[in-house]
A and B are shown apart, each in its own frame.
Chain A
Amino acid sequence: MAIHSLSCHLLLLLLMSSLDGLIKPGSAFIHDWDQRASSVTLEPHITGCLSRDQETFRCWWSPGNFQNLSSSGALRFFYLKKESPNSQWKECPHYIYSNRECFFNMTYTSVWITYCMQLRGENNVTFYNENDCFSVEDIVRPDPPVNLNWTVLSISPSGVSFDVRVKWEPPPSADMATGWIRVHYELQYRERNTTKWEALEMQPQHQQTIFGLHIGKKYEVHIRCRMIGFKKFGELSDSIFIEVSEVESTETTFSFTIVVVFGIVGILILVMLIIVSQQHRFMKILLPPVPAPKIKGINAEMLKKGKLEELNLILSGGGMGGLPPFAADFYQDEPWVEFIEVDAEDTDSGEKEDHQGLDTQRLLGLPQPINQPMNIGCANTISFPDDDSGRASCYDPDLLDQDTPVLVTTLLPGQPENGEALLDVVGGTSTPERSERPLVQIQTTGPQTWVNTDFYAQVSNVMPSGGVVLSPGQQLRTQESTSSTEQEETQKREKDSEGEEKKEQQFELVVVDPEGHGNATESIAQQALTTPVSPIPGEGYQTIQPQQVETRQAAASEDNQSPYVGPEFPMAQFSVPVSDYTIVQEVDTQHSLLLHPPPHQSPPPCLPQPPPKSLFGMPVGYITPDLLGNLSP
């Protein structure tokens, strides 16, 4: 209700004011009224008053259409300072006629007090408008800030936009240090060819950031300020121009470097992967593997697994080709060593097999069982993993060369798997030759006896009769046969020594259980042998009748070359383990070596042998062949 009456009052007032006539132009310049009527006669009026620093102010007037008053001095400027009800009009303290301006300096300027202006002509004609009253603080328009400058704050990674920081200094005319004037600044910017200015928020700082300007576009920036709490803005400053050209170079280099870096990283990763995956190949190329030492025909794994049968098979030269007979080189220059030679006939495989089978049986004195094909070499039975160790295959045809004397090969023990006696005779011999060989009396039960015989038979003792006591390998062979004595015969002949068979000689080998004895290698110098030694009951001895063994070469036959029992003598199976080596104790008159008997044996096998004693003060141990000569009694 109250407001209703108020609005009615206001309406009435408006009507009244409008009825009063036109609002005089130029009046009430404080309120920026724009109502000017061109047709109305303009009387002299105050065009405006302005203060820049709240310490002084100036006013301008205009004579209007009254040209007779346009001359300077025709109009006089008066002001009224309403300090008290008794205040008087006073004339302008300082005229600037050229500008039609009245300047009020500091002494005449009072803030917070109302001033009214009027013009007076001659004859006290007064041109006064009541609306031309103001208070100084209301007419303050601060000068624009100075020293406007800009710097690029940041550029977006996409290179499209950038930020700019604009800095300025306060207007020097405004006394802001003492706090007389407190202003806020308003920054405006626009794109070069547009009309609309963008205004930023007013703030009292002396710097401001413009965000989101576009690269490549030109911008115009200016600033103005006004007093806080008052309406009038100061003038706008001069414009400055902001432009940032496109920085493609840095951008492209940036992207280029990124691409390069990523490419390098990817390539490095690939190379590493390749190296890691193909590591073995690289290692082989860079560091070729050193071949492990290995014996031809022998697989190291066999040793690990303890398959001595195969090992012996191979070592005894069956790898026919696998292993070169070591003894050959070793004893080449030993004149007193006689090699047992075997004819190396080149037979067909089938025939050879048959012959070998027959030979086996004949040698062993066994019934003729159905022989399975003999193994030549170790092809079927022993399969060696043939790796790169350099071992040749088991079957090496080179060794079957008939022209070269074949060195000793022995009757190989049969394979446990086959369960047959396996005799590996190099080259094989012809049947008629074999028939002339002395028989080997083997008191074994069967071919199984050969199963577990060793390649090497070390002579442990020599009988006066010429028999050699052999000792089997350390590894126990589970003996099927319990025979105390087994005889085996080894004969080899060469082809050219065919006709030189002599009378049968029995070659007796006495095998002694060598348990725990030190090893002693010995070679047997044996002449023609005489009566065979009676087989010794019971204890795992084997006596083999020494047979005359053909000499190596007929032409070079040397008398009474003792047959050489190579280390490849197969051993018959024994019931008791026998040591491989024993120590030669002495040599008797017959040039037989007396071996140190094993302690645990009850009666020493060689009864006629004198008790072991050292000869000539020599240490019991090995006797080298050159020392043998000294031993002759």
Chain B
Amino acid sequence: MSLLTVTVSWALLLWPCLFTVSVPLDCKDEQVSITRCPFISQEKLLDRVIQHAELISRISEETCSLFEEMFVPFPLRLQRNQAGYTCITKALPIPSSKSEIQQISDTWLLHSVLMLVQSWIEPLIYLQTTLDQYDNAPVILLNKTKWVSEKLISLEQGVVVLIKKLLDEGALTASFSEQSLFQYEPAPDLLESVMRDYILLSCFKKDTHKMEIFLKLLKCRQTDKYNCA
């Protein structure tokens, strides 16, 4: 009887600690899953999200370069710059200059990231299918694309949890998925298809870079508010 009361009292005393203790073993793979990893600290979650974003950005850059070398002729490589406003996410109200970015709130930062991530999930899936259609697409290109699309999904999950934790908001539904930004149109010929894919990859590269910077800024704000204006 006494042992039982002791254990119960200890459990009651340590009850608040349960929420602050992180369980790294279970959550090493996935950023967030309430069912799987109920307990993870906020800092650790943010770090993992940033890791994901950095990795995705790097892989996307490598994919684009690889694609450019393989399929895009030299004179046409400048077209990506000209298609700056044809990126699928251009309509999103996301600031682009540092001054602007430094002025937006944490909420807006996170929401921007989430919008970006959610916008690119579908095009990446499409990209995988199109790349398979190329005859001499290197395996590494396909693998990278596949990997990126997977990681993007987990990044989305992490950002969702982060929004919940940091902003104390309820579960966000992917509101942007309703209006699909990406419309698939079958390309008339191969070159068009290649160029379209090339531009797609370039835009994706920019957006992942954006995501990375946003999340890092957020982290800086979390740790040291005054120096991270």
Contact = CB atoms under 8 A, between A and B. Distances in A.
Interface of A: 1-3, 5-6, 9-10, 13-14, 17, 28, 30-31, 54-55, 82-85, 87, 106-107, 109-114, 130-131, 133-135, 137-138, 177-180, 182, 228-230
Pick from A10, A31, A106 the residue with the most CB of B within 10 Å: A10
A2 B81 contact: no
Interface in B69-101: 71, 73-78, 81-85, 96-99
Interface string B187-203: 00111001000000000
A110 B191 contact: no
Nearest 9 pairs of A and B residues by beta carbon: A179-B216, A114-B84, A229-B61, A110-B96, A10-B73, A133-B81, A110-B97, A82-B84, A178-B220
Interface in B125-156: 133-136
Given A13-B76, A54-B98, A113-B84, A178 B216 contact: yes
B111 interface: no
B66 to A, nearest CB: 13
Contact of A179 (B81, B96, B219): B219
B52 interface: no
A138 B206 CA distance: 10
B85 A85 contact: yes
Given A6-B194, A107-B99, A112 B216 contact: no
25 contacts: A2-B133, A2-B190, A3-B190, A6-B194, A9-B190, A10-B73, A14-B75, A28-B78, A31-B77, A54-B98, A83-B96, A107-B99, A109-B97, A111-B210, A112-B209, A114-B81, A114-B84, A134-B81, A135-B81, A138-B81, A179-B215, A179-B220, A180-B213, A228-B57, A228-B61
A229 B58 contact: yes
A517 B31 CA distance: 114
| Contact-size category for B | 35 or more
Given A13-B76, A178-B217, A3 B136 contact: yes
B98 A5 contact: no
A55 B102 CA distance: 12
B109 to A, nearest CB: 12
Contacts of B205: 229
A131 B80 CA distance: 11
Contact of A177 (B135, B212, B227): B227
B228 A178 contact: yes
A387 B194 CA distance: 118
Contact of A112 (B83, B210, B227): B210
B54 interface: yes
A10 to B, nearest CB: 4
B207 to A, nearest CB: 8
A55 B98 contact: yes
Contacts of B73: 10, 13-14
Contacts of A229: 57-58, 61, 205, 209
Contacts of A230: 61
Contacts of B133: 2
Contacts of A130: 78, 82
A180 B229 CA distance: 12
Given A3-B136, A111-B210, A135-B84, 6 more contacts: A2-B190, A83-B85, A107-B99, A110-B97, A112-B96, A114-B84
A1 B133 CA distance: 11
B135 A131 contact: no
A106 B98 contact: yes
A538 B210 CA distance: 142
Interface in B163-198: 189-191, 194
Nearest to A2: B190
A3 B78 CA distance: 21
B206 A137 contact: yes
A2 B216 CA distance: 42
A3 B194 CA distance: 10
A135 B78 contact: no
A55 B85 CA distance: 20
A59 to B, nearest CB: 15
A315 B194 CA distance: 133
A366 B75 CA distance: 153
Nearest to B73: A10
B189 A5 contact: yes
Contact of B99 (A10, A28, A106): A106
Contact of A2 (B84, B99, B134, B219): B134
Nearest to A133: B81
Contacts of A182: 54, 212, 216
Of A87, A134, A178, the most chain B CB neighbours within 10 A belong to: A178
A112 B206 contact: yes
Nearest to B84: A114
Given A6-B71, A13-B76, A179-B219, A111 B84 contact: no
A532 B217 CA distance: 146
A111 B96 contact: yes
Contacts of A179: 212-213, 215-217, 219-220
Contacts of A82: 82, 84-85
Contact of A180 (B61, B98, B219, B227): B98
A558 B201 CA distance: 153
A84 B98 contact: no
Contacts of A109: 97-98
Contacts of B61: 228-230
Contacts of B78: 28, 30-31, 130-131, 133
A115 to B, nearest CB: 9
Contacts of B85: 82-85, 87, 114
Contacts of A5: 189-190
A109 B134 CA distance: 38
Interface in B45-66: 54, 57-58, 61
Nearest to A81: B84
A87 B136 CA distance: 40
Nearest to B205: A229
B96 A6 contact: no
Contact of B97 (A9, A30, A87, A106): A106
A9 B71 CA distance: 11
Contacts of B77: 31
Contact of A3 (B134, B207, B213): B134
A5 B194 CA distance: 12
A30 B79 CA distance: 12
Contact of A135 (B75, B206, B219): B206
Nearest to B75: A17
Contacts of A84: 85
Contacts of A180: 98, 213, 216-217
A115 B99 CA distance: 18
Contacts of B215: 179
A177 B228 contact: yes
A277 B76 CA distance: 95
A20 to B, nearest CB: 10
Nearest to B216: A179
